Amino acid sequence: MKKRPQNRDSILAKAEKFFNRGNYPLAKREFEKADRISVQDDITEKIKICVREIGQLKAKDLVKKARKYAKKSKLREALRCFEQAYGISGEDWICERIGQLKGDLSGSDSIDAARQAEASGEYEKAAGLYRHGTQKGKDTRFKIAHCLVRAGKYDDAVSAFKDLTLSDYSAMYDYGFALAKVGKYPQCLNIWGPIESDDSAFLKQRASVQSLLAADLYDRFEHSEDFAGIYKEGVSIVDSSGDSSIGDLVEYCKYAWIDQLWKEEQYETIRELLFPIPSKMEADLLTLYAKTFFKLAEISGKHLSDFIMFWLTTVYNPEISGKFSARPEERDNVRRALIRKAEDLLKKYADVGDKSSKAALACWNVEKKLVEDIKAIVGDREALSCLICSPQFAVRFGKSGQIIQLIRDNRDFFTDLEHYLQTGGYYSSAGPSLFYLKNRQYDKALAGLPVSGSYDAGESEFVDYCVEMVQFACGLQCLEEGEDLSRPYIETVVNLFNKTSKYEQELIDKAIDSHEPDKLRLYEDVLSELHSRRPTKGIKDALSLVMSRRAIIMFNIHRMNSKVLNTTIKKALKLNPENEFARGLLGHVKTNVEIEKLNHALSRHKMGKACRIAAMSENEKVRDLFFEFMERNLEELDGHDMDSTGKAFFLRELYKWCADVDESHPILDKIYNKSQTF
């Protein structure tokens, strides 16, 4: 069928439809058709708009493509698309982007060139090209630094690495190598520190750097007095590498620095240099420790424990004190003066200080006596002079065993068993507990006792003594605080009392000094237990007294009746018939019991029984009470609603009761006279 020719209006309508929908290519075609039929200005204008809009769409499409290429780093393709788009739209931003892309393309070329240069060993050139590259990311900066190292530009390489975070061994090695090459050996070793490599060449090179550093230290040592700097660097090398070749140099510098610090009165820094304390302590070193801690003690009470340990051992050391003077008398005087100076310091802190300062003084007093005893035992035996030291020192330097043996071998030296056991105890593995005890730190003393089997058999008698002492003191403390004691405690205490009775007396004194019923009960229980195992006169007497004292207190507060009181007092008197307190109580108690019985009988009108009690009582008070009752009845007779016969009968009875008790009592006359009135 032949296509029917369209008229101009329908073509225009179609064109307008496409135009309004933004379909400019189709709109353009339709407008052109209409224009061919009849040329009109508005149609020509619309065609122009369509052409422009079609161009914009094309440019948009090209920009989109360009961006995709740029994303995929296809910079040349991206550039081509942006240029085409710019040719169409002529927008400024596209022009700027084209400029950027051209720059990037040039940088990319530099990176490529740098890679090529690096691969061919032209490191300096490569570094330069990497620098010109547009990509200045972390990787490129590492590449620059690496190429500088390879090019032998070590100073530049060190600068390049400076702000980089080293995350892999390659970079660490490069940086360390550059540092070593510029003579910064400690920094090199520091950077290489984290590299864990078994590579023999690397290990050898690290050792070489250490050797160079050691040589550097020696050079500085010979040409300067920077002992502090050399010492610090030396310690760092020894610590990190275990290199012992510079050990003596480092130690020499330490002592040289200490000399400088002493003159500057920097005692705290000296103390830091003296730690860790070595396992062996020769006389000169011991003197240094003692003097340093003395100086520190003059400044503050922070290190009193170490001061005591070193001072006592030093001043009693024959090699050290031998240098005081050639004359023994003068030597002793200097030692005494030095001890006095230490004591003055300790007292100063104890007077104004806290608990620990007071504890330090208590510790000093104990340790001084112990060291004096050991010195006396050692006497002139030079071979044993190294054993003259405080217990703390002995523990730290492993001399305790020898000292214990020395004590055991010289038992006759000691004044008594307690002196012997106590001296050995302080030097034994339970010694710290005795020191805690001295300062009333009961929990620590108990916790510090060695577990059975954890100590040498040679020290067992001393450890046993310490255990007994600590348990006794802690037990006594419990009693004073109103706490019960367990049975094993009693066993231990009996062992201690068998060795030395002075602690038995201490317990007795505490018991006798007690006046509160609850505490008296605790002491009564303990004394009673002890009495069953160790019935000494002291314990018997104390138990008797505590028992009777507690009984009367309980009676007075109505927590014990007279019958139980009587029994208890009798029991107490059986333990100690000479217990004057109980004896006094017994008379009082008897009277009380009779009075109680008399009152009971009288209140129930059991007059026969009342008469018997009053007649039989040895106590006047009981009879007086009986007659007072009768007198009251006689006086109140007139007021009673009773006839004369009854009253006469009552008076006869009254007379009989009273006569039964005391035939000569004046009340009998009164009763008789009264009966005559009826």
- Residues near another protein (CB under 8 A): 149-150, 168-170, 172-174, 177, 180-181, 183, 195, 197, 199, 201-202, 205, 208-209, 211-212, 214-215, 218, 221, 245, 248-249, 251-252, 255-256, 258-259, 262, 284-285, 287-288, 291, 294, 324-325, 330, 333-334, 337-338, 341
Q: How far is CA 62 from CA 53, 84, 90, 103, in A?
A: 14, 7, 13, 20
User: To the nearest whole angstrom, how small is the minimum distance from the Cβ of residue 173 to another protein?
Assistant: 4
Residue 675 to residue 347: CA distance in whole angstroms: 89
State which residue, 193 or 608, has the beta carbon closest to another protein.
193
Rounded CA separation 181/175 (Å): 10
Min. distance of Cβ 365 from another protein in angstroms?
Answer: 21
When the beta carbons of 215 and 417 are compared against another protein, the nearer one is 215
Nearest residue to 506 via CA among 493, 519, 489 = 493
Q: Which of 15, 27, 78 is nearest to 52 (CA)?
A: 27
Of residues 80 and 291, the one with the C-beta less far from another protein:
291
Alpha-carbon gap, residue 263 to 254, rounded angstroms: 14
Written as one letter, the residue type at 637 is L
For another protein, which is the closer residue by CB, 325 or 675? 325
* CB of 215 or CB of 616, closer to another protein: 215
Tokens 């055991």 correspond to: 408
- How far is Cα 217 from Cα 243, in angstroms, rounded to an integer? 13
Q: Which is nearer to another protein, 111 or 668 (CB)?
A: 111
Helix 200-223 / helix 185-192 crossing angle, nearest 10 deg: 150
Token pair listed for 269: 């820094």
Which H helix or E strand runs over 523? helix 517-533
Please tell me what DSSP assigns to residue 516. S
Other CB atoms within 10 A of residue 83 CB:
16
Choose between 174 and 464: whose C-beta lies nearer to another protein: 174
Please provide the DSSP assignment of 416-469 as one string.
SHHHHHHHHHHHSTTHHHHHHHHTT-HHHHHHTSPPTTSS-GGGHHHHHHHHHH
Q: How far is the CB of 359 from another protein (least distance, A)?
A: 25
CB of 233 to another protein, least distance (A): 16
Compute the least distance from the CB of residue 338 to another protein, in Å: 6
User: Minimal distance in Å, beta carbon 442 to another protein?
Assistant: 38
Nearer to another protein, 148 or 667 (CB): 148
Per-residue DSSP letters for 264-281?
A: TT-HHHHHHHT-SPPS--
Nearer to another protein (CB atom), residue 171 or residue 449: 171
Which CB atom, from 67 or from 341, has the smaller least distance to another protein? Answer: 341
| CA gap 355, 436 in Å, rounded | 12
For another protein, the closer CB: 261 or 407: 261
Q: Which is nearer to another protein, 83 or 216 (CB)?
A: 216
Under a CB-based contact definition with an 8 Å cutoff, are residues 132 and 104 in contact?
A: no
CB 154 within 8 A of CB 181: yes
- Please, what is the angle between helix 355-378 and helix 431-438, to 10°? 130
Instruction: 419-423: list long-range contacts, CB under 8 Å, 24+ apart.
Output: 421/461, 421/462, 421/465, 421/499, 421/500, 422/465, 423/370, 423/373
CB of 271 to another protein, least distance (A): 13
CB 346: neighbour CB atoms within 10 A?
Answer: 25
CA dihedral 319, 321, 325, 329 (to 10 degrees): -120
Provide long-range contacts, Cβ within 8 A and 24+ apart, for 379-382.
382/318
Residue 224 CB, nearest approach to another protein (Å): 15
**CB of 220 vs another protein, minimal distance in Å:** 13
**Beta carbon of residue 118, minimum distance to another protein (angstroms, whole number):** 11
Name the minimum Å distance from CB 245 to another protein.
5
Q: How far is the CB of 175 from another protein (least distance, A)?
A: 11
Least distance CB 141 / another protein (angstroms): 15
> Is cis: bond before 276, omega within 30 of 0?
yes
Given the complex with another protein, which of 257 and 397 has the nearer CB atom? 257
